[in-house]
Amino acid sequence: MRLISIDEYNPKLMQLARPIYDKHRRVLLGTGRTIHPTYLEKLGALDIRYLFVEDAISFGITMEEMVDTPTWMEAIDALKNTYRAVEENQKLPIREIQKQVVTLVDEVAKRKAIFLVPTSSLTENLREYAHAVNVALISLQLAKKLGISQKQLRELAMGCLLHDIGKAIKEETQHHARSGFEYLRKIREVSLLSAHVAYQHHEAIDGSGKPRGLEEKEIHELAQICALGNVYDHAISNNGLPPHEAMEYIMTKSDTWFTAELIGLFVQQVPSYIPGTKVRLNNGRKAIVTKILRNLQRPYIRYLDSEEEVSLGDCHTLLISEVLTS
């Protein structure tokens, strides 16, 4: 299986490896299907930009580091219900959110690495919710190295899921981070730490952030993690950057938006090249990334011409020089 941009799709060579949903979250095209060109146009009109496909060069690649579709969609549904409750001034479905918090903490705990599914693989109306889920996933992946308690991990996940909830408040006249905080701090089941994660998710350590222009230590460590997760998912999902470019982009924010220490943690915890990525190596040969085992930044690759598999972790002179998109 691999993730491709929709314009790389070739019906003669590829089948869908994960379903595509319409805006009502009904399955539009199921796993195993070939997409007819007229359908492909329809997906383009829905602005769906990525697909998971199965093809000859990606055989055996499983992408277990991505949360499976039902789990992701269930979390997205819970967020959708949450936003609707806020928009309609109803009670927050807190049980539903708490259930997702537990699920997401478990999902991240059981994996060495987490890859995000770009929200642009969904119809537009679901992306805001999928964004919140992605921010929670990547933040948990960073936080699990900090040795914090299970309770704090859950508070972080809750804060990440609700970090943009201020956007759902109708009479919103202030920055959404502040209005989200004002809303969340009145909810008994949401801890003050979770509310602060939402409050501080647009702050930057150099004081250039919003809404308060906090600096360095004034920003809670877990809120900084959420802020980084937020920027990373925007890079992947909204700006369509491949993971290695999103990583470079994050690195340019060292000492301005994020501490060098946090970026170091990010590099340690998030891979630049995900399985299924077609690459050219510095020996000129084309290959596909197959799996990530010990070293997140040095994956296994399989040559396209010989099918020989090599661990870049064991071949220190071999480097990825280019990502191929066709």
Q: How far is the C-alpha of 66 from the C-alpha of 110, rounded, in Å?
A: 12
Q: Which is nearer to Fe ion, 18 or 176 (CB)?
A: 176
Report phi then psi at 67, rounded to 5. -60, 140
Give the x/- contact pattern for Fe ion in 159-178, rule: CB under 5 A.
-----x--------------
**Residue 120 binds Fe ion (CB under 5 A):** no
Tell me the number of residues near Fe ion by CB under 5 A: 2
Minimum Å distance from CB 226 to Fe ion?
9
Instruction: Locate 69 and state its tokens.
Output: 């579709």
Q: How far is the C-alpha of 310 from the C-alpha of 300, rounded, in Å?
A: 6
**Residue 179 binds Fe ion (CB under 5 A):** no
**Residue 230 binds Fe ion (CB under 5 A):** yes
Cβ pair 1, 17 in contact under 8 A: yes
Minimum Å distance from CB 168 to Fe ion?
12
Minimum Å distance from CB 201 to Fe ion?
6
Q: Is 1 exposed, middle or buried (0-12, 13-18, 19+ CB in 10 A)?
A: buried
Q: Which is nearer to Fe ion, 230 or 290 (CB)?
A: 230
Q: Which is nearer to Fe ion, 107 or 164 (CB)?
A: 164
CB contact set of 103 (below 8 Å; sequence gap of 6+): 71, 74, 75
Q: Which is nearer to Fe ion, 180 or 271 (CB)?
A: 180
Minimum Å distance from CB 202 to Fe ion?
6
Distances (CA, A) of 229 to 33, 61, 136, 246, 263: 33, 26, 7, 11, 11
Cβ pair 198, 165 in contact under 8 A: yes
Q: Which is nearer to Fe ion, 92 or 198 (CB)?
A: 198
Minimum Å distance from CB 160 to Fe ion?
9
Binding residues for Fe ion, per CB under 5 A? 164, 230
